[in-house]
Amino acid sequence: MADEGDVELVLEETREAMDKTVQSFRKELTRVRTGRASTNLLDGVSVDYFGTPTPLNQLANVTAPDARLIVISPYDKSASAAIEKAIQKSDLGVTPSNDGSVIRISIPPLTEERRKDLVRQVRKMAEEHKVGVREGRRDAIAMLKDLEGDGLSKDDRHRAEKSVQDLTDGFVAKVDTLTAEKEKEVLEV
């Protein structure tokens, strides 16, 4: 026999799933390049270090001393060439310069066209994550229908579905807010 506790469990699972989707979106946004240098830009870069793909931040100290420069200081100087190669192979659109001890990446200012491309990319990512939030809603409603089959009243199910819809609207609004903030950051000259 289904009861309020089961409904609360469904709502909590749904909230957690939607929150994970928003957190994933937030993390992906840090990888979108803006006009400023950010060490987050290199978070997705993996370096082939002695045959093993290794995250760049485990092989080197990555800093952004000013708004147009990222400096990478490898812990093992022999890894410099591999780090430089990994950055060139990434789709970041930057060219590293290696002087043997440190690797510097100069961040050029974004062109207007590139800014618009990045805004389109951010909007596409936002839409994908909104779909993820809506999938959480769909799964929750399916679970509520199953609970109705196990004895949950129709009125309780409808109230729970309204709560699920409120959750969905809240998380979609969070995605929209993050999107607007990132667009503003990208378009800022």
pLDDT truncated to tens, each residue of the chain (189 aa)?
Answer: 667 888 899 999 999 999 999 999 998 888 777 777 778 888 888 888 888 888 888 888 988 888 888 899 999 888 888 888 888 888 777 788 888 789 998 887 878 888 888 899 999 999 999 999 999 999 999 999 988 888 888 888 899 999 999 999 999 999 999 999 999 988 886
Instruction: Give domain 39-106's CATH number out of 3.30.1360.40, 3.30.1370.10, 3.40.50.10440, 3.40.50.150.
Output: 3.30.1360.40
Token reading at 54 = 């290794």
pTM listed for this prediction: 0.75
Query: CATH assignment of 4-31+111-187?
Result: 1.10.132.20
Dihedral sign of CA atoms 123, 125, 129, 134 in order: positive
Domain range annotation of the chain: 4-31+111-187, 39-106
Nearest to 105 by CA among 64, 47, 60, 57: 64
